[in-house]
A and B are shown apart, each in its own frame.
Chain A
Amino acid sequence: MTNTLHRKGTPESLKNDYVIFCTLARGVNSEGSTPKIQEFIRICQKYNPVNMGDARHGNILMDDVDIQKLLDQKGDGEGATAVFNDLDTLRKVMEDLIKADLGVSINISGLLGDVQSCCRKAGIERHSAEHSLGIWGAKDRLPEREILEVNTLCGHGMVSFNLIRKMVEYVKLRRLTAKEAAKTMAKCCECGVFNPVRAEKLLEKMVKKE
């Protein structure tokens, strides 16, 4: 899954957006992995992620999902994700995960240089890395850059361009605050990789611009 690879934004705004994943390799280390995934969730929870979830059980910004429910319903081989807003917190989470030695694959989406420096501070060297080479093809069919920045916060593209426009309009009309609008959009993103804090800032920026 390429999920969070193609998040758009300036390096400045990407500085506040890091997604951490735990992944099991089907048929290799997925069997009996439930306690490890649960421990991953507990470690992330300690540092107050702005979002958390997985495709099977939803994310913590949904009305009927919370961290306890995620913990209780976890099964072997199911991954989990958490979103953090700053590098310092990410580094602490990474250090705790290294100490816990869960044996699950850990991936981080974010500024590659920053993640690399976190790895080195924690005394490890990265294993593999992936870059985006951007969008190709019929780009004239795409909306403006700001809409794309919000849309790509969900790796599966479940936050429609129309919903983003509607949320900008609602914030402008004061029917919703930017925070409420960001939470509404986050509910569309099952896995919980959508960063509601970054979305809130982007909405505020779009409202001002209009």
Chain B
Amino acid sequence: MMEIDKEKCVGCGNCHVICTMGAIYLDEDGKSEVNQEECVECSTCYRVLRNEGYMPWFVRAVRKVLSFFRLGYLAEVNVCPTGALTPPELKWPRSLRSNFSDPVAIHPGTGIGGRGTEEIKSNDVTGRIRKGEAGVVVEMGRPGIGAYFRDLEKVTQALSHLQPLFEPKNPVTLLIKDQKTGKLKDEILNEKVLSAIIEMKIPLEKIPEILKTLEVVQKDIDTVFSVGISSRCLPDGSIPHEEWVRKAGYILSPNGKTNIGLGRPRFQED
């Protein structure tokens, strides 16, 4: 688990600010402490805060002298003055936190970095989403709140009734114990991640049902999620899922992602 060396920590508070989950706080001794329940092991604190390498006694002495003159000590915001952060060595199932939250980490199950798959980004080559299909991504915990797998399970269970094809290479799919029920592995339910993407493929006409299901299940969870919908464009460049989403009464973002189709070998549909 990400830990802070109490011998080194001078309580500057920089790690509190940088922490993506706001999981670091000052203890009664004025040293920083990680709330292990809330920490998602993203390692942003360790990666971003430059170790200035000062001796803790030196920083404390400077502080004392400054306080004598009623002056404060303010370290630059992107440093840990004494290198007090200790990177973790994680064991299953806690290792999932890092696998999903740290963008530098490679998922052992998929061999891919990040939280999902290449999705439509390589659709011109893989043909992952084909004519008549829609790709749906539900990114749990995003933006900035984080998600427990117990909340994620509520969503996979609700969606499983519609029998979508959960993307086999997605790291969340690998954690689903039973695709018919959407149940996840029991031992992971109390693990928290910065975000995790449920990724699936459905026929275009199922879009309204999927959105209706998400509309209902969103009331049962204690976090946020961001939804994305994709499809293979028609020869004239129009986007087939637009009509289905509008028909279902939802608003599409003006921005999004476009695969411009330069990948080779180009996937050929029958």
Q: Contacts A130-B230, A135-B225 hold; do A29 and B263 have CB atoms under 8 A apart?
A: yes
Q: Are B262 and A104 in contact (CB under 8 A)?
A: yes
Q: Are A28 and B126 in contact (CB under 8 A)?
A: yes
CB distance from A136 to the nearest CB of B (A): 5
Q: Are A170 and B254 in contact (CB under 8 A)?
A: no
Q: Are A29 and B265 in contact (CB under 8 A)?
A: yes
**Number of interchain pairs (Cβ within 8 Å):** 285
Among B60-68, B81-89, B111-119, B156-164, the stretch that binds chain A is B111-119
Task: Tell yes or no: A23 within 8 A of B by CB.
Answer: yes
CB distance from B211 to the nearest CB of A (A): 7
CB distance from B64 to the nearest CB of A (A): 23
Q: Are A131 and B122 in contact (CB under 8 A)?
A: no
Among A43-51, A65-73, A105-113, A202-210, the stretch that binds chain B is A105-113
Task: Tell yes or no: B268 within 8 A of A by CB.
Answer: no
Chain B 240-260: CB-based contact to A (< 8 A → 1; otherwise 0): 011001000011111111111
Q: Are A23 and B224 in contact (CB under 8 A)?
A: no
Task: Tell yes or no: A127 within 8 A of B by CB.
Answer: yes
Q: Pick the most buried of A102, A108, A160, A184: most chain B CB atoms within 10 A of its CB.
A: A160
Q: Please name all residues of chain A whose beta carbon is closer than 8 Å to the beta carbon of B116 when the two chains form the complex.
A: 1-2
Q: Are A56 and B104 in contact (CB under 8 A)?
A: yes
Q: CA separation between A6 and B192, bound complex, in Å? A: 21
Partner of A160, one of B122, B144, B237, B262: B144
List the B residue with the shortest CB-CB distance to A17. Answer: B255
Task: Tell yes or no: B229 within 8 A of A by CB.
Answer: yes
Q: Are B241 and A131 in contact (CB under 8 A)?
A: yes
Q: Are B230 and A188 in contact (CB under 8 A)?
A: no
Q: Are A137 and B104 in contact (CB under 8 A)?
A: no
Q: Which residues of A103-142 are within 8 A (CB) of B?
A: 103-113, 115-116, 119-120, 124-139, 141-142
Q: Please name all residues of chain B whose beta carbon is closer than 8 Å to the beta carbon of A175 when the two chains form the complex.
A: 74
CB distance from A10 to the nearest CB of B (A): 9
Q: Pick the most buried of B218, B224, B253: most chain A CB atoms within 10 A of its CB.
A: B253
Task: Tell yes or no: B41 within 8 A of A by CB.
Answer: no
Sample of 19 A–B contacts (CB below 8 Å): A4-B257, A11-B255, A25-B122, A26-B118, A105-B121, A105-B262, A106-B260, A111-B255, A125-B235, A128-B259, A132-B253, A133-B227, A136-B215, A136-B224, A136-B225, A137-B224, A138-B224, A148-B144, A156-B115
Which B residues have a C-beta under 8 Å from some C-beta of A? 16-22, 42, 44, 47-48, 50, 74, 77-78, 103-104, 111-126, 129, 135, 137, 139, 142-145, 194-195, 197, 211, 214-215, 218, 221-233, 235-237, 239, 241-242, 245, 250-265
